[in-house]
Amino acid sequence: MTIDRDLLRDLCLCPAPSGFEGNVQDVLRRRLEGSGAELGADAIGNLWASAGPADGPSVVAIAHADQIGLIVTHIDDDGFVLFDVIGWLDHQLLPGHTLLVHGRDGAVRGVVGRPPTHVVPEPERGKAPPIREQFLDIGARSRDEALKRVAVGDAITFDQGFAELSPGRLVAPALDDRSGVYAVVRALELLGGETGGARYTAVSSAHEETTCMGAKALGHRLRPACVIVVDVDFCSDYPGVDPAKLAGRVRLGGGPVLGIGTSINRKLTELAHEVAASEGIGVQTKAFAGRLLTDAEELAAAGEAASLGLSIPLRYMHSAVEVADESDIDETTRLIVALTRRLGEVFEPGMFAPGARGR
């Protein structure tokens, strides 16, 4: 397969922190309308699309639409914008960066201000102030002037583009988890009606970076038999990162990562390994001693589904720029397609329960 870079670019450049997922879902809705898939959405912000027979085993592949970001909390008398984080964002990343405030009339560029080192007291040098002590300078001369352009409650994202560092190595904001959204949706397009008898549903979920609220709602609504949770995972192939502390060696270009751990179904994971081998898809393996910190647990618990953790290797997660290899995204898509077809052929109720025989 060849990656659809235009779709991936469009997804990555949508400003959509948790609670503001509408931009991503609009891109997907326009893409999928007329595809023959059955579309659904809810008030929380989830979007899903299904194909295949209604009476087939329900295979749900889910990736989250939201990204980390910030939100405007206050505008002071001089027009400086104060903010707080949405999701897990390191406050040290912000000083000196340009950010985009997504106001009612479009994006407003600003810079996170910081006094020069020369005037910072020596004990504070090299340290970033707490988030609530940082501020965004949008060039306004007063609060009234700033309020004409931005408002309390506006979303804020990093001011970054989409580029290729070297052939196939992509840098962009929000590859966590728009690369996963790309994979589950492209799998739907590639499957078409050829699902092997499975009912395949691609889900772009809301609020994963904050509460996993979107997945909680979907588990009760969709009641899947199998869940393929597609997210990103930490690479260990760059300076300063210890693979032993990350519970596994993960590298860009090494293929998707199959998780093994307490919240992942071992039999479904074994089947995914078999399918990958039969399709010539290279995979990596990583251990998870506890939660995956994804939508997996919420969907599995609500729907009593067998869960598979499938991850795309990513460098510099939750930063202003993230780096991925498009071959990993492509191979993740291929594996979703092949595994869905296999499940449509072999699935039997209870086959993934402990002690169940065969497949």
> What is the spatial distance between Cα 332 and Cα 112, in angstroms, rounded to a whole number?
37
CATH superfamily for domain 5-67+173-346: Zn peptidases (3.40.630.10)
From residue 7, give the alpha-carbon distance in Å to each of 12, 28, 120, 182. Answer: 9, 9, 45, 7
The predicted structure's pLDDT at residue 100: 97
Contact 99, 160 (CB under 8 A): no
> What is the spatial distance between Cα 333 and Cα 328, in angstroms, rounded to a whole number?
9
Contact 281, 242 (CB under 8 A): no
Domain 69-158 matching CATH 2.40.30.40: the answer reads yes
Contact 284, 250 (CB under 8 A): yes
What letter would DSSP give residue 131? G
The predicted structure's pLDDT at residue 359: 47
Q: Beta strands 257-261 and 47-51: pairing type? A: unpaired
Domain boundaries, the chain: 5-67+173-346, 69-158
Q: Could you list the pLDDT tens digit for every one of the 359 residues in the chain?
A: 689 999 999 999 999 999 999 999 999 999 999 888 999 999 999 999 999 999 999 999 999 999 999 999 999 999 999 999 999 888 888 998 999 999 999 999 999 987 777 777 777 777 788 898 999 999 999 999 999 999 999 999 999 899 999 999 999 999 999 999 999 999 999 998 788 899 999 999 998 888 888 888 887 788 888 999 999 999 999 998 888 877 779 999 999 999 988 778 999 999 999 999 999 999 999 888 766 667 777 776 666 789 999 999 999 999 989 999 999 999 999 999 999 999 999 999 889 887 665 54
Q: What is the CA radius of gyration of the chain?
A: 21
The predicted structure's pLDDT at residue 261: 80
> What is the spatial distance between Cα 135 and Cα 101, in angstroms, rounded to a whole number?
12
The predicted structure's pLDDT at residue 296: 72
